[in-house]
Amino acid sequence: MMTEIWWKVFLASIITVIGLKVFGISASYLKIFFLAFGGFAVGFILLAVISDFIWRKRKNRKENE
């Protein structure tokens, strides 16, 4: 599962760099890539943790009924 997350982060970062360069952002490719990579990494990890927490909470609620 973690490997899938890193590939998604990598792909999202590349798409972000391409998208920003198409719109004419003048920052360097590496700066945009590393900022996007860090942002997407944090975002995907938080998404995984929060969704796991919600899933466990719902599962426990259904078992208690």
Least Cα distance to 19 among 32, 7, 31 occurs for 32
pLDDT band at 1 (very low <50, low <70, confident <90, very high): low
CA atoms within 13 A on the CB side of 12: 16
Q: Where are the domains of the chain?
A: 2-64
C-alpha dihedral, 30 to 32 to 36 to 37, nearest 10°: 0
CA atoms within 13 A on the CB side of 63: 6
| pLDDT at position 2 over 70 | no
Q: What is the mean pLDDT of residues 39-64?
A: 89
Count of residues making up the chain = 65
- Residue-wise pLDDT for 21-51, tens only, equals 999 988 888 999 999 999 999 998 899 899 9
Percent of the chain whose pLDDT exceeds 70: 95
